[in-house]
Chain A
Amino acid sequence: MRRRLSIPDLGGASAVILHRPHVTVTALTRQLQAVGLQVECFWPELPASARAADYLFIDVDTAHDDQFPWEPGEAPLPTIALIGSEAPGRIEWLMNFGADAQILKPVGDNGVYSALLIARATFDARLGLAGEIDALRRRLGQRQTVVQAVALLAARGKTEDEAYEQLRSMAMAWRVSFEDAAARIVSSVNGPRDARQPEGRDNV
């Protein structure tokens, strides 16, 4: 698959660096400002307001879960890992915490711009995939409803294939998803109490 990069709006965007005062921070800040971003540095804890930033840089050498106001793997913004030590334990921590791009330390004269582009693209792709997986999970969860609806329609003297087709045309006529149409049919028979099947992963 060929991806066309969509360049994010970086002028006036905000970056947060979680790193103790250090030449790494100076070099990062210079590069970020040259690109046109506003930069804020925090240490040792990230305030909840950091959620509103556009990019986050973290120091993998020293970072630990308690520094962040969210759970590992749930960063609400594109995250760029600054890696100094390549000790496997640190990389393991990073894999659990999750990052969308990385820069090896020492941070010198370049590397930030490409990390910003990659982090934004990866983060957006990750959000998109998570949404898609949620939708698929929901549909999977509604499998039982679809089976029930087809059985109800078939009970009126149709073959299973015909019942399935009928359900499809009902969904189209009502302009709802196949699964929603199935839920309507089941609830119209069972009464409003069962109008909605439990959704989500519990039902998979």
Chain B
Amino acid sequence: MTRTIDLGLLFSTTGPYRLMGQASRAGALKAIAQVNADPALDVAFTAVERDPGGDIDAYAPLCEEILKSSGARHVIGCTTSWSRKEVIPSLERMGGVLWYPTPYEGFEASDRVVYAHACPNQHLLPLLDHSFAAFGRRLYLTGSNYIWGWEMNRIAREVSARAGADVLGERYVPTGSTDIARLIDEIAALKPDFVLNQLIGPSQYAFLDAMAELRARDAAFAGGRCPVLSCNMTEAELPAIGASAEGVISAGPWFRGQSPALPGNGGGEDFGSSLEAAANASVMMLARLLSGTARSESLSLPELLALPGASAVGISARTHHVTLPVAIAQVRNGVFVPVRVYDPIEADPYLTQVHTRMAQPLMRVVK
């Protein structure tokens, strides 16, 4: 007998980062359709949706509304770390679980959250490892003025110090600001080997436009020199960035065209970006955990992860993070082309495991 279970979706499909929210939502809806059509699973989902519209203060009330007004105990949602941290108290109070399908900066392992996208040892560390070898050891750090940028750049400083690399400069831009002239001036003067860019939204778009102009007028930045790196850029944002995205190098668990997609996708590959794939995998993994056990929807996350067969789903019972493949890809002619692909790496959210020496890449495409 198939049980139909309410499933919360909490993505901002309007507002400043709607492109990312829309990608996540599309992946979750695709998975719900897939689960509902799968006779091998004894659960089906009904989506209970709310759209916080990118308003940070709307997340917790809307999350509570989902948990109160429906039978949903699991919510797939949130794009930013800030919003995730806002909803955790609500989850604790109301006995909910959040499936967070977006890359983040690590240093968290809530009992109430599944972290279904990459953390720093799955994006930043491999990306720096690759870049020190490919471009050099003089880097410039920039980011939006909030936790993602601060923490990612702090890790980058630490890794650089250990690798004997030189951080030439570090500058932050208020979120939403497009005033990046000083940043560009500094980069133009310092001529680093690469720029680690943790800017988000309009600041990143303005920065990439300005870098494209710099490349056009200064030969030191032409011909692929001084590439811009990202740990969260996916295909979802490419239409908004346009031609200025050319040459950007990003790290993520999957890029369009790679086969297979994420371990949790159960064979599905038809996704627009890793954001879509990770939200899809979240719903698929949840269905696999719930299926086959009566009243499993009322179990807590630790109880679900302790069920027989749960370990095969791929979520660590210790950290609630997911083992993910790692790809480093560059935008060439408007699409991400994988440059390096690594075997799946276990998430290490507190960077406490011995992994500083990266595994050898599976493949290396030399242009």
- A residues sitting closer than 8 Å to B (CB atoms) are 7, 9-12, 27, 30-31, 33-36, 108-110, 113
Q: In the complex, which residues of chain B have a beta carbon less than 8 angstroms from the beta carbon of A109? A: 88, 92, 110-112
Interface contact A108-B350, CB-CB below 8 Å: no
**Residues of A with C-beta under 8 A to B69:** none
Give CA–CA (A33, B352) in the complex, Å: 11
Q: Which one, B109, B158, B354, contacts A31 given CB within 8 A? A: B109
A36 B352 Cβ-Cβ under 8 A: yes
| Nearest Cβ on chain A to B124's Cβ, whole angstroms | 15
Number of A-B contacts (CB under 8 A): 37
Please name 22 pairs of A and B residues whose Cβ atoms are closer than 8 Å in the assembled complex, sorted by A. Answer: A7-B158, A9-B352, A10-B350, A10-B352, A11-B350, A11-B352, A11-B353, A30-B111, A30-B302, A31-B109, A34-B109, A34-B318, A34-B320, A34-B350, A36-B348, A36-B350, A109-B88, A109-B92, A109-B110, A109-B111, A113-B107, A113-B350
B231 → A minimal CB distance (Å): 20
Q: Which of A7, A12, A33 contacts B318 (CB 8 A)?
A: A33
A-chain residues with CB within 8 Å of residue B107 when the two chains form the complex: 113
Within 8 A of A (CB), among B307-360: 318-320, 348-350, 352-354
Contacts of B352 in A (CB 8 A): 9-12, 35-36
> In residues 54-99 of chain B, which contact A (Cβ within 8 Å)?
88, 92
A36 surroundings in chain B (CB, below 8 A): 348, 350, 352-353
A residues in contact with B348, CB < 8 Å: 36
Cβ distance B48 to chain A, nearest Cβ, rounded Å: 24
In the complex, which residue of chain A has the Cβ closest to the Cβ of B88?
Answer: A109
9 extra interchain contacts, Cβ-Cβ under 8 A, other than A34-B318, A34-B349?
A7-B158, A11-B354, A27-B111, A34-B319, A35-B352, A36-B352, A108-B92, A110-B108, A113-B107
Question: How far, in angstroms, from A51 to B171 measured CA to CA in the complex?
Answer: 44
Which residue of chain A has the shortest Cβ distance to B350 in the bound complex?
Answer: A35
- Chain B residues within an 8 Å CB radius of A11: 350, 352-354
- List chain A residues, Cβ under 8 A from B108: 110
Interface centre among B111, B302, B349 (most CB of A within 10 A): B111
- Chain A residues lying within 8 Å of B349, measured Cβ to Cβ, are 34
Q: Separation in Å of the B199 CB from the closest CB of chain A?
A: 24
B residues in contact with A110, CB < 8 Å: 108, 110
Contacts of B109 in A (CB 8 A): 31, 34-35
Chain A residue with the shortest CB-CB distance to B108: A110
The listed residue with most B CB atoms (<10 A of its CB), out of A11, A27, A33, is A11
Q: How far is the CA of A168 from the CA of B107 in the complex (A)?
A: 52
Identity of the chain B residue whose Cβ is nearest the Cβ of A27 in the assembled complex: B111
Residues from chain A with Cβ under 8 Å of B110 in the complex: 109-110
In the complex, which residues of chain A have a beta carbon less than 8 angstroms from the beta carbon of B350?
10-11, 34-36, 113
Shortest Cβ distance from B76 into chain A, in angstroms? Answer: 19
Nearest-Cβ distance from residue B206 to partner chain A, whole angstroms = 31
Q: Which residue of B lies closest to A112 (CB)?
A: B109
Bound complex: CA of A97 vs CA of B354, how far in Å? Answer: 35
Chain B proximity of A97: nearest CB distance (Å): 28
B155 to nearest A CB, angstroms?
Answer: 10
Q: Which residues of B contact A33 (CB under 8 A)?
A: 318
Which residue of A has the minimal Cβ distance to B111? A109
Q: Which residue of B lies closest to A110 (CB)?
A: B110
Please name all residues of chain B whose beta carbon is closer than 8 Å to the beta carbon of A108 when the two chains form the complex.
Answer: 92
- Chain A nearest CB, measured from B112 CB (Å): 6
A34 to chain B, nearest CB (A): 4
A-B pairs with lowest CB-CB distance, top 10: A11-B352, A36-B352, A34-B109, A10-B352, A35-B350, A109-B110, A34-B319, A109-B111, A11-B353, A33-B318
In the assembled complex, the CB of A133 is this many whole angstroms from the nearest CB of chain B, namely 31
Tell me, in angstroms, the Cα distance from A31 to B353 when the chains sit together.
15
Chain A residues lying within 8 Å of B302, measured Cβ to Cβ, are 30
Instruction: Give the distance in Å from the alpha carbon of A7 to the alpha carbon of B109 in the complex.
Output: 18
Tell me how far the C-beta of B119 lies from the nearest C-beta in chain A, rounded to whole angstroms. Answer: 12
